[in-house]
Structure 1
Amino acid sequence: PEHWALSQDPLGCRSCDCDVGGAHDNQCAVETGQCRCRSHMVGRTCSQVEPGFFLSRLDQHTYEAEEARLRQGEVVERAQSPGRPATWTGAGFAHVPEGGTVEFLVSDVPASMEYDVVIRYEPQVSRGPATPRSRL
């Protein structure tokens, strides 16, 4: 499972490497390595969009908390440290204390449908998992 091209090659068989968004799973044909593609996705690993179709990025619509309306909070700009990957997007962070709110004005959503809302945050203390509350 999850491998193909078993042969006399000293390196052994190859990983399927199916695209996480384009394939149903990481299973592929044992002989060809062809992954099981979702609708309108093509290629051995299902990483290409079928001609005539469009696939938006997962973060096509990104809203920065530091550009939103903050109640009981402040914007903290942060520069990236050399040699370390950024763990944020935008100019920095919005520091929002417990009980504070962040209101986003969303005006560029093209259609009324179900969307997955992802909130990226970094807790300031490690008291166990934090669960942000949201109201849409």
Structure 2
Amino acid sequence: MSIEPKEVLQDEPGTDGARKSTLPLPGMVAIGLYMLVLAAAVTFGVVSGHIPRLLLILVPLFVAASFGLLRLFRWAWALTLSAVFLLMTYNLWIFFEQKQAPGAIQGILNLVFFFYLVRPDVRSRLH
């Protein structure tokens, strides 16, 4: 007696038999966790007094983008993409103008996330 796993793939009309997975990609999960870490870092920075309180507005957006990205929502993808792009440009500005090495590391990490999010196979899974 063999137990066969349930099929998590479904046929999409007009894709000529190509299948579309309903599970998020591992990179999307990693980026979602990164958004949660950003939310925690901003919260900790506000509580410790290193970051202005006005930036606390971003925390619910980061959390919503994180959980929405795991559910493969297009609005969460757009929110995450804009956050990653803005963080990338800010961190690279810190590196080039103020010559701080952590800005380069964080900027390159955000650049990798940006390039991952704009891949066509990632965008095709969103709904």
Question: Where on the TM-score scale, by shorter chain, does this alignment land: which range?
Answer: under 0.3
What's the TM-score once normalised by structure 1's chain length? 0.22
Structure with more helix by fraction? 2
RCO higher in structure (CA 8 A, sep ≥6): 2
Structure whose CA Rg is larger: 1
